[in-house]
Amino acid sequence: MSLANLLMSAPPYDEVLPVVGAAWQGGFYYGRIIIGGAHYALVLSPRATGDLTGYVMQNDTVYTFAGNTSTNDGKAIQANMVTHGIAKFPAQQAVMALTINGCTDWYIPSKDEMEILYRALKPHTTQNVTTSGAHPSAYPAPTSNYLPANPTRTTLIDFRSTGGTNYLTLDYYYTATQGPGGTEYAHAKRFTTGQDSQDNIWFDYAVRAIRRVLIPT
């Protein structure tokens, strides 16, 4: 049966979702998220083509990051940036220009989409902070913050910081979600400890492109 037919077949759709880290839909499957009642499968881009550095989140002298406060819908934030003029947002513009394995709908993940990624594919053995991690968007949703040893380093060699080719950078990644400090800040995620932070949108932190696939219910 083709994937298209499987998508149209009766639930449970989980039967056709791959395991975490498996090549799928232009990248690597890493988890599920619920946005507005709809379920989506999340896909991480390959490091060689989808891990970008050297781009600021916004280059305008009047910082208008307002409206990008969604914690779980990076695609909606991308649409908001387009509405305000995508040239103001170099990191998102660079991600939108990507064509990876035939897929062109990549975007910068939101805060919760990035948190799901950290839990799924933590690249390093450093202990986690215990002040981050809980949120309602993942499926299934985590019920508590991280523990020092949970999540553990991924068992998948390709996503480990030593020996892997698709690992997450051992520092901060921007997310597309506005930081709590206001319109001059973007939320950021540290991939050694899972720490949530915020930094000025004119910094040039790394971004890692993702895409999502609707799961029919």
Please classify residue 188 by burial: count the beta carbons closer than 10 Å to its beta carbon, then call 0-12 exposed, 13-18 middle and 19+ buried: buried
Q: Tokens 């995508």 correspond to what residue? A: 86
CB 107 within 8 A of CB 144: no
DSSP strand pairing (23-24 vs 27-35): antiparallel
Is beta strand 172-178 parallel, antiparallel or unpaired with respect to 185-190?
A: antiparallel
Q: What are phi and psi of 23, to 5 degrees?
A: -65, 130
69, burial (CB in 10 Å: exposed 0-12, middle 13-18, buried 19+): middle
Q: Say how far residue 82 (Cα) sits from the centre of its chain.
A: 19
| Ordered per-residue pLDDT tens for the chain, 217 residues | 333 332 233 334 455 899 999 999 999 999 999 999 999 999 999 999 999 999 999 887 666 766 789 999 999 999 999 998 999 999 999 999 999 999 999 999 999 999 999 999 999 999 999 999 999 999 999 989 999 999 999 999 999 999 899 999 988 999 999 998 888 899 999 999 999 999 999 888 999 999 999 998 7
CA-nearest of 20, 209, 3 to 105 is 209
pTM equals 0.91
